[in-house]
Structures are given as C-alpha cells and as structure tokens.
Amino acid sequence: MDFEPTIVSFLCNWCSYTGADLAGTSRMKYAHNIRIIRVMCSGRIDPIFVLESFKDGADGVLICGCHPGDCHYHEGNYKCLRRYHLLKKYIAQMGIDPGRLHLEWISASEGKQFAELADSFTETVRGLGPCHVKEIIENFA
Amino acid sequence: MEEVRIGVYVCWCGNNIAKMVDVEDVSREMETLPNVVISRDYKYMCSDPGQDLIISDVKKHKLNRVVVAACSPRIHELTFRKALENAGLNPYMFQMANIREHVSWVHRSRENATKKAKSLVAAAINRIQWHEALNKRSVEIDPATLIVGGGISGISAALEIADSGKQVYLVEKTSQLGGYAAQIDLISPFMYNAAQLINPKIEHVYIHPNIKVFLNTQIEEISGYIGNFETKITNSENQSIELKFGNIILAIGLSTFNPSKIQNYKYGIIPDVVTSLELEQVLKSGKILTNDGNVPQNIAIIHCVGSRNSNYHEYCSRLCCKNALKYSNLVRSAIPDANIFEIYADMRAMGNGCEELYSATSLKNVMFLMFDQKNGLPEVREASSKDNCKMLIEFDEKLSGERIEVPADLVILMVAKEAHKEAKKLAQTVGISMCGNQFFIERHPKLDPVATTTDGIYVVGSCQAPKDIPDSVAQARAAAARILGTINKGSVEVEVTTAKVNEDTCCGCQTCISVCPYTAISFDEEKQVSVVNEVLCKGCGTCGSACPTGAIRSQHFTDRQILSQIKGLLDKSFELQEG
C-alpha cells in the first residue's frame, strides 16, 4: 500500500488561490493530498504556520505566491521568499527534511502549473515517507 | 465570551459537488463537531431559497456563526456575507470551505474527495470559533474618473460618464485620440468608414466641458484606493498636475505581432510583404500598389501570423479572419481581374454579418486555400525571372492534400493582436493581475468581465483580450455604468481586514514599520508603540507575520484563526485512505 501524505498548502488570494480555482474550473485532475488555506498575501505566511503544520501532522507544506513583480501588495512575496530560505535551514535542524517544504510562484492564469505542482510535490513527499514530528512530540510530552 | 453556535451548510451545486463528494455524509459528520448546532446539505446554497435557509436557521437556532461549504469564496463569499447581514449577524462571522474548485472538480476518487471535503469543512469550523465581528468602513467616492487610453474604448467610456455630468480625466500616451480604430480604413464586416465613425466622437471629447484630455501623457504612479485615488502627471508643457479621482478605467488597447519573428514570411526582407496594419495605410491612400508602383496581379493573404501557434501566441486574435475577408473584397473592387488567395488555417470570422461576408467573398472568385499550422507554415520566397510574378508561396494545402505554390505580387500578413507593450508596467503601477499573455484579468470571466480584483479599477477593450469595436464599446459603457452607480450612491463600503496593534503587548521594536509596503504604520514616540493608519493599510498581513510578540494582528486572518484552521485541516479522523 502506498503512503498517502497530507500536505498543507498556503496560497495567496490574488494569484495562487485564483490559479488553483482555475485548475478547478478547467477540470484539471490532481492529487487529493493537497489541502489549501487561503491567505491574502504570501507575506502573511508566518513561519509559525509552517512549523505548526508539521507539528499537527502535515507531511509536507506547500507555499504559493505571485510571481516576482506581480505581488498585489508590491513585495509581500519577496518577504515570503526570504522567510522560506531561512525556514528551510531551520526545519532541517529540527530533523525535518527540507524537501518537505516547497515554495513556488503560481499566477492567476497558471491553473495547469498548479495542478502539475500539486502532483509533483505530492510525489516528492510520498517519496520522503511520513513525517514523524507529531508522534515524536507526543511521545516526548 | 458568548456561546459559539455554528450552522454548517454543504452545497450540492446541482451535481457539480454532489457527483464527487458525498455531501450528505459530510453534512452528517460535521453535526458531530463541537459547537455545531445544525448542519444541512442543500441543492444550491447561493440561490434565494438557499440563503433564506441560512437566514431562518440563524433566527430559529440562534446561530452566531455560519460555515458554507460550496464553491470558491472568490465567487460567493460576498453573497453569503450579505445573507448574514440580512439575518442580523455580522458578515465576518462567516467562513467558506471551497469544496468545488478545490475538491469535486479536481479529484477522481469519491471516497478521498469526500474525506478531503470533510477536512476542509472541519478546518473552517475550527477557524470560525475565533472569528470576530468587524465593522464595515464606508468611504466617500470622489466623483471624478481617470481613464487611461484614448482609443474607441476610452472615448466611449469618457463620453458616457461625462454626459451624465461627471468629471473625466482622459490620459493618452500618444499625440492624438482614436487609437487602433483611427488607423484603419473601413470596418469589417459592414464596411463603415472608421474615420466617419470615430472623428465626431473625438471632436465631442475635445469640446466636452466635463472631459479634460491629457495627450502625450503617461501615468507613472497611482496611490489610494476606491473612491480616493490620486496621481501626479506631467503634461506636454512639463507642468506637474495632481489629479484626484474615485475610479479608474484602463483602456490601453493592444499591440500587433512583429512578423519578422517568423522567418518563413520574409517580412522586412521582401518589401512587398506587408502587415494588415500597413495595408490599412495603403487602402487609405486610395490605391493598392506594390513597392515599385505597379498594380499587383496576384494578392495573397496569409492568416494566423503569430496566432494559434504555440511558438508565438496560443490564442486566436479574433479580429483577423473578418479583416482578411474585408481585404479580399476591397482588392476585388480595386483590381477586378486580380488573383486573390486567402491562405488560412481555419476560418473563424464570427459575429454579426461575418459568416455572410464569408459567403459573399467566396462568390467573388477568391481562392480559399487551407494550411495546417502543425505541418509547418507557408514559405514565401522571391520568384525567379521565369516566373510571371514577384514571389511564390509554397505550402501543404490541407484540403487537396497536395504541396502547392501560389504566385504573389503582394503578400498581406494577418498579424496577431497582442497585449500592449506597456501593459505589464501599468498592471504593476495600479496593482491588478495579468494573464499569461499579459492581458489584464477581469474579476470573474463570466459574471464580472468589467471590474478587476482591485475595487474601483475597471478594464475595457482590447487590453483585456482582443476585441472588435462593438464589444469594446459595450464593455466601455458597462464600466461607465458601474462607475456612475457608485458615484450616484456617494459612498462605498470597503474591507476592514486591516492590521491592528495591541498596545499592551507591542514591544516597540518597529519591525512592522520596516516591512509595511504602504507606510501605513507609524511609531507613537510617547507611548512607544506602533500605530496603524487604517485608511492606508490594505490588509496584506505582512506585519502580522513579522511581529515578534504577536501584538500586531491582521484582522480576519489572525494567527489564532489560521492556526485553528491548520489544526482542523489535519484532524486525524479525516485522513486519507491509504493505497
């Protein structure tokens, strides 16, 4: 039996969430493992959201924002990008494979790209196997 | 704190959701979650009876929060917020779970789609416990409107608004009004003279007391929000002028494809290969002649130059086929014995009178020859001295299945219509989205093709997608009507999901001030805390994710709300089936 990962995805309202909506209206099919949370801007994605997702049992976290230069709020995506690189290093030190966290720019017209990303990231996380952070924390406590 | 009483409503969306998600099962299971008082499923939640169901339940069961699991919140969040208001609840005590665009339409397994739907709804239920009532803010609308672009779309919108007695600022980058329509001779399919149609309108704009025209002017920066935008422009005399306006219409039109990108057509190499736009100038001059001043005997019109080809533009430019038919007719009238070849990929002349024009053209001894873009494009080459023509065009003719050569003295390339070169810069200036082809994106492709996702900004004409004159005019007048509606109302309600500082926990580090893209946060030296200017704050939430103490909150997207949503999403009971 294949392991079915659970992936929490944070999508900005203006580009990426709309792109994911477009994948839907175009009836593109992708992995059901992706579960989406809408934020207004990728700049709103507090590192805590990512860490808590892993702590609560996510096997992967996907962040999507507007392409550079296209942010509805001018530069929120750049701030997200900086945090992302720091977070990658941070989670590695916490014993979480940095491959479980991924950031990609998805515009409002990139429904196809979103569907492909959902599939490819699901496969990546499936390959990494279950994330045991939640169990470890529970046992530790 | 008052007791939390949640109503959950799972929509079938006809069969759109119910086909892939067991909505009854979702609804039943949600009723077992804490604080859920009632959970129902219904055919169409967005319909009037669906909304009435919510309203009557709110009253009957004393609900104080409502979760609707249906389509994307980008489509119906406002609809349901209104319903809550009608039920006497604060509209922000609402949360939507998107189980159509993000579940039923994109998954194949009913079992897993149902599980995923449950986790999304559970997340919404978890989140809504922490929702807070927010009061709407009303802003006054400045009755002036800024229109960027003086083509037929911009002109039509300007006249519509100005005739209603409201001020219009019409900004045009070039030295004259009229845009693309002013460059063409006759308009297909009814052959109206473009100048006769558009010149009186341009005159009217210039003398209209409510329209101020700025030629040779570009917009560098726009600040503000619906009702209260402002910009500084520099006019031709180098004077800086400040303009204030409540709404913006973008009508910057389009550019045309540069055919020298397709080497087959020898554009720029053989002088008698011309673009459709260049031919319009020839037609305006009254005489169709080749580069060396002779009357061409063989005229070839090549379609889809840069359109419907994944190497250039995948989309159909929409206007070219009917224009190509127009050229055949005009050439036939001007040179009765000429050989005319329409070398097309598919005939897509559509709209009023176009099919009739196609039929009429086919009776005028015009050769229609088809090529298949997948099998290579026609190749234009110079003829040799033996040939009785200047050029030869070689291609696989699809209907006969033969490789043929067509003689030509004049080749007309039906060049693709593409997004305006300035589109990207303008989109970034005003903060709206573009599609992959750099056309501006409307708020909704079916239900709101005029507005954009930024309140107070409208897109009209070919900057949204290639359009003919009647469609551009219709869209322009629709935008004008929308704007006049808001001006008439005098004020508009805006989102209040701004950031808010808790002065007790703010440590005064000013990190929020350094990350705010709108300089909406200032520092109160006396209290040593950050202060948010709610008018300037657009609610992106970047400050909220940078604050080390959690003192600054993005309202309606607070840490607690999102963290609860994550918890609900990862609830063990809705884990996916393995295998």
Q: How confident is the model at residue B579 (pLDDT cuts 50, 70, 90)?
A: very low
Distance CA B305, CA B417 (A): 10
Under an 8 A CB cutoff, do B105 and A37 touch? no
Mutation pick from B569, B571, B574, B577 vs chain A, by most beta carbons of A within 10 Å, is B569
Q: Quick one: average pLDDT of B541-551?
A: 94
Distance from the Cα of residue B136 to its chain's centroid = 27
Inter-residue long-range contacts of B418-422, CB under 8 Å, 24+ positions, other chains counted:
B418/B254, B418/B255, B418/B256, B418/B257, B418/B306, B418/B313, B418/B317, B419/B254, B419/B255, B419/B463, B420/B252, B420/B253, B420/B254, B420/B255, B420/B463, B421/B255, B422/B173, B422/B218, B422/B252
Retrieve residue B398's tokens: 């699809």
Percent of chain B with pLDDT over 70: 99
Q: For residue B567, which residues of chain A lie inside 8 Å, CB to CB?
A: 52, 56
Q: Is residue B315 less than 8 Å (CB to CB) from chain A?
A: no
In angstroms, rounded to a whole number, what is the distance separating the alpha carbons of residues B515 and B546?
8
Q: What is the pLDDT of residues B94-113, one digit of tens each?
A: 999 999 999 999 999 999 99
Chain A residues whose beta carbon lies within 8 Å of the beta carbon of residue B497: 40
**What ranges make up the beta strands (E) of B357-498?**
366-370, 379-382, 391-397, 402-408, 410-415, 417-419, 457-459, 491-494
> Would you place residue B429 in the very low, low, confident or very high pLDDT band (cuts 50, 70, 90)?
confident
A123 near B CB under 8 A: no
Confidence band, pLDDT 50/70/90 cuts, at residue A1:
low
Minimum CA–CA partner of A53 in chain B: B566
* A82 and B CB contact within 8 Å: no
Q: Please compute the mean of the pLDDT values over residues B132-147 and round it to a whole number.
A: 93
With H, G, I as helix, E, B as strand and everything else as coil, classify residue B8: strand
pLDDT for the residue B517: 86
Domains in chain A with CATH codes: 7-140 (3.40.50)
Query: For a pLDDT cut of 90, what percent of chain B falls above it?
Result: 87
Tell me if chain A has a CB within 8 Å of the CB of B447.
no
- Better-predicted residue by pLDDT, B435 or B289: B289
Please name each of the domains of chain B with its CATH number: 1-136 (3.40.50), 145-253+420-492 (3.50.50.60), 256-416 (3.50.50.60)
Among A22, A41, A53, most B C-beta atoms within 10 A, so best to mutate, is: A41
Q: Which of A21, A125, A137 to probe by mutation at the B interface, max B CB count within 10 Å?
A: A21
Across the interface, whether the CB atoms of A76 and B540 are under 8 A apart is answered yes
Give SS3 for B97. strand
Q: Check if the beta carbon of residue A78 is closer than 8 Å to that of residue A68.
A: yes
Alpha-carbon dihedral of residues B156, B161, B162, B163, nearest 10 degrees? Answer: 90
Q: Residue B576 has what pLDDT?
A: 57
Q: Is the CB of A112 inside 8 Å of chain B's CB atoms?
A: no
pLDDT at residue B39 is higher than 60: yes
The confidence band for B7, taking pLDDT boundaries of 50, 70 and 90, is very high
Nearest to B113 by CA among B10, B252, B219, B8: B10
Nearest in space to B222 (alpha carbons), one of B239, B251, B246: B246
A141 touches chain B (CB under 8 A): no
A78 touches chain B (CB under 8 A): no
Give the pLDDT confidence of B255-269 residue by residue, as tens digits.
999 999 999 999 999
Of A2, A41, A115, the CB nearest to B540: A41
Q: Summarize pLDDT for A66-122 with one digit per residue, the tens.
A: 998 788 888 899 999 999 999 999 999 999 999 999 999 999 889 999 999 999 999
How much is the average pLDDT of B130-139? 91
Using a CB-CB cut-off of 8 Å, the residues of chain A touching B428 are 69-70
In SS3 terms, B300-364 reads as EEEEEECCCCCCCCCCCCCCHHHHHHHHHHHHHHHCCCCEEEEEECCCCCCCCCHHHHHHHHHCC
Residues 2-41 in A contacting B (C-alpha not used; CB under 8 Å): 2-4, 6, 8, 13-15, 17-18, 20-21, 23-25, 27-30, 32-33, 35-41
Q: Give the pLDDT mean for B142-149.
A: 98
User: Does the pLDDT of residue A2 top 80, yes or no?
Assistant: no
CB B566 within 8 A of CB A38: no
CB neighbour list of residue B561: distance below 8 Å, 6 or more residues apart = B127, B130, B131
Q: Do A73 and B538 touch (CB under 8 A)?
A: yes
As a whole number of angstroms, the distance between CA B6 and CA B186 comes to 63
Question: Given CB atoms, is A135 within the 8 Å cutoff of chain B?
Answer: no
Do A70 and B566 make contact, defined as CB atoms within 8 angstroms?
no
What is the pTM for the complete model shown? 0.80
| A contacts of B576 (beta carbons < 8 Å) | 4, 6, 32-33
Closest alpha carbon within chain A to B117: A35
**Digit-coded pLDDT (tens) for B499-537:** 999 999 999 999 999 999 888 899 999 999 999 988 788
In this complex, is the C-beta atom of B541 within 8 Å of any C-beta atom belonging to chain A?
A: yes
> In chain B, which residue's Cα lies nearest the Cα of A43?
B542
B365-378 mean pLDDT: 95
Q: What is the pLDDT of residue A70?
A: 81
Confidence of residue B494 (pLDDT cuts 50, 70, 90): confident
Would you state the pLDDT for residue B432?
83
pLDDT number for residue B235: 75
Contact A43 B540 (CB under 8 A): yes
- B272-304: per-residue pLDDT in tens? 999 999 999 999 999 999 999 999 999 999 999
Mean pLDDT across chain B: 94
- The Cα of A137 is separated from the nearest Cα of chain B by a number of Å equal to 15
Burial degree of B76 (CB within 10 A; 0-12, 13-18, 19+): buried
The values of phi and psi at residue B145, to 5°, are: -130, 140
Distance from CA of B215 to the nearest CA of A (A): 28
Nearest to B536 by CA among B552, B516, B557: B516
Q: What is the 3-state secondary structure (H, E, C) of B480-525?
A: HHHHHHHHHHCEEEECCCCEEECCCCCCCCCHHHHHCCCCCEEEEC
Residues of A in contact with B539 (CB under 8 A): 40
Look at residue B578 and tell me whether its pLDDT is greater than 60.
Answer: no
Please tell me which residue, A21 or B136, carries the higher pLDDT value.
A21
pLDDT tens-digit map of A16-63: 999 999 999 999 999 999 999 999 999 999 999 999 999 999 999 999
- Across the range B115-136, mean pLDDT stands at 95
Task: Supply the pLDDT for residue B71.
Answer: 97
Query: pLDDT at residue B212 above 70?
Result: yes
User: B327: closest CA among B276, B364, B278, B281?
Assistant: B276
Chain A residue with the nearest C-alpha to that of B424? A70
Q: What is the DSSP string of A63-97?
A: EEEPPTT--TTSSHHHHHHHHHHHHHHHHHHTT--
- pLDDT of B191 reads 95
Helix (H, G, I), strand (E, B) or coil at B188: coil
- Partners of residue B577 in chain A, C-beta under 8 Å: 4
DSSP string, B136-156: -EEEEPPS-EEEE--BHHHHH
